[in-house]
Chains A and B, each alone.
Chain A
Amino acid sequence: MKQFGGQALFLDRSDINTDEIIPAKYLTENTKMDLKPYVLEDLKLGGFDPQRDLAGKGVVVSRANFGCGSSREHAVWVFEVNEINTVIAESFARIFRQNMYNCGMLAIELPAADIEKLFNLGGEVNIEVDLATGKLTARGEQTAEFSFVLNDFDRRLVEAGGWLNYADQHY
């Protein structure tokens, strides 16, 4: 199965929407890879430079209601093609969260206090995800462990490599 985790990119804002993750004008692209350069292009977050700040990152950490707005799965694909495999947030918009599992990617919800702790670890933070035990280990200037709960069905989708594979086996 796919491995999850990596260096963390911290996006310190709630309600980051799908238009900020990938503007609609790029939805005319007909392959996922063509979306790659435009990731987070319109993100309203002072000092953020997607090309610089995303390099080498595997995990996005953010606040509440991540991925609100459009149903466009392009918002998940643009992370996938930029090698982001996991998004950790206090909460997700429903469609974005489902799109992540449907693509065999991980959306992990943590309580606000845990998210705050992640933000305060300091330095470059590397996050290891253990899907089997539901544990996250985050190593920055400090190290911290977190437990997460994944809905059993969503776990099956991730393990199957996505919803299409799962549905094809079951329905």
Chain B
Amino acid sequence: MGQTIVEKIFAAHRRDTPTPENIILDLDVVMCHEITTPIAVTDLEARGMDRVFDPDKIKVVIDHVTPAKDSKTATQGKILRDWARRQNIRDFFDIGRNGVCHALFPEKGFIRPGYTVIMGDSHTCTHGAFGAFAAGVGTTDLEVGILKGVCSFRLPRTIKVEINGKLPAGVYAKDVILYIIKTITVNGATDRVLEFAGPVVDAMSMEARMTLCNMAIEAGATCGICPPDKTTAEYLWPFIQNDYATVDQAAADFRQWHSDPDAAYEQVLEFDVSTLAPQVTFGFKPDEVKDITAMEGVPVDQIYIGSCTNGRIEDLREAAKVLKGRRIADQVRGILSPATPKVYNQAMEEGLLKIFQEAGFCVTNPTCGACLGMSNGVLAEGEVCASTTNRNFNGRMGKGGIVHLMSPLSAAAAAVAGKITDPRPLLV
């Protein structure tokens, strides 16, 4: 019997099997940010365990609230900064160099196919786009990861999601994943891995695959994962060129992390996206999703473009297609948070920031920002946001507000129209 990608990764990283159901994995990367890590650091200090298993395998960023907004967030940053220095963690990204963790760490080349990755952040599943097993964990798992370089998991079953057909104009990875979550529900992949495959995934950029994997957690999945291929090798090339003679050779090596043809899946779901319309959420759960045409005309107060889901250069380019030469509606506020300094600079060089600003958007520094209502861009009671983020939970972006999740193109269209609208006519 063949193995799935995740079964192969588990077999290659197994440290211990305390029970037949539970596996202790060796970790390749432990990622940290300033919201869930400081309590782990202070707890380890208090226990006399102020050590790390390997400073080179720990990657640290301040991204959720940056610059600090008050004394408490300043303290969180300070705890992390002091710890990184004390433990000789070289990959520490502070203000000026920092950006959204799940966009910044791939850009820095920290992920490889076949890796095991944890972080105290549920959207760590994003890194599965590289064919890695990447899972969000709580602070205690993070503590043990920092200290011992291990984490416990039950071997997750795999649901293969085969995406067939060809994406129509104006429809993106975000629409695909929203539609998938609608189909399998917010609890449909709990204790499972979603393995995304098929011609549509093969044709996707790494940015688009990250968008797909980013929201796997919204279906409850432990991880989303894509088979690593030439696209993966090209993205990683600056970081792996000493390991391989050519991109093709790297891609060939990555094939070891593909599921075997006779691997056992719990379920295989097939989607043909050839006639998929842009999607949007309407309630407080990420599986409450409709075709955007069914939400036409719902007024919005704020538009947020950014986050680990859709704050990458490709996302900004898509939004700019609609915003170029247009103004956002008078009654709305537009906020753009490029996900990383690299995205910011690229957007500046390509003239995208100018397009956003001339359209009336406020451009912030790279940060998680408005996504989870803990720093800038918080909604007031009763306000509505068209957002490229990943969660629409009640109160997520501010108490009493509501968030409608959509693609960058749809968010840009909402900005121009002042209401939710089908973006496709604006592309012409």
* Contacts from A to B (Cβ < 8 Å): 14-15, 17, 19-20, 23-25, 27-32, 42, 44, 64-65, 68-73, 76, 91-95, 98-99, 102-103, 151-153, 156, 162-164, 167-168, 170-171
In the bound assembly, the distance between CA atoms of A15 and B21 in angstroms comes to 25
**CB of B106 closer than 8 Å to a CB of A:** no
Asked whether A42 lies within 8 Å of B399 as measured between CB atoms, the reply is yes
Asked whether B136 lies within 8 Å of A44 as measured between CB atoms, the reply is no
Number of A-B pairs, beta carbon distance below 8 Å = 151
Chain B contacts for A20, CB-based, 8 A: 393-395
Asked whether B15 lies within 8 Å of A72 as measured between CB atoms, the reply is no
Partner-binding segment picked from B31-39, B93-101, B308-316, B333-341:
B31-39
Asked whether B19 lies within 8 Å of A151 as measured between CB atoms, the reply is yes
Asked whether A163 lies within 8 Å of B152 as measured between CB atoms, the reply is yes
Chain B contacts for A31, CB-based, 8 A: 39
- A32 (CB) vs chain B CBs: closest residue: B39
Asked whether B187 lies within 8 Å of A28 as measured between CB atoms, the reply is no
In the bound assembly, the distance between CA atoms of A26 and B152 in angstroms comes to 28
Asked whether B18 lies within 8 Å of A93 as measured between CB atoms, the reply is no
Beyond the given pairs A15-B186, A72-B35, A72-B36, 18 more chain A to chain B contacts, judged by CB atoms under 8 angstroms and listed by A's residue number, are: A15-B285, A19-B372, A27-B36, A28-B70, A28-B72, A68-B187, A69-B393, A71-B121, A71-B136, A76-B138, A91-B187, A95-B138, A103-B140, A152-B19, A163-B141, A164-B140, A171-B16, A171-B148
In the bound assembly, the distance between CA atoms of A93 and B185 in angstroms comes to 13
Q: Could you list 18 examples of A-B contacts with CB < 8 Å?
A: A14-B187, A15-B285, A19-B391, A27-B64, A30-B72, A30-B79, A65-B190, A68-B187, A69-B122, A71-B119, A71-B122, A73-B36, A92-B190, A93-B190, A93-B220, A94-B222, A151-B154, A171-B15
In the bound assembly, the distance between CA atoms of A156 and B16 in angstroms comes to 15
Asked whether A153 lies within 8 Å of B152 as measured between CB atoms, the reply is yes
**CB of B65 closer than 8 Å to a CB of A:** yes
Asked whether A30 lies within 8 Å of B393 as measured between CB atoms, the reply is no
A24-B372, A27-B374, A30-B42 known; A95+B148 contact, CB < 8 A: no
* 0/1 interface trace, chain B 69-104, chain A, CB 8 Å (1 if under): 010110110010000000000000000000000000
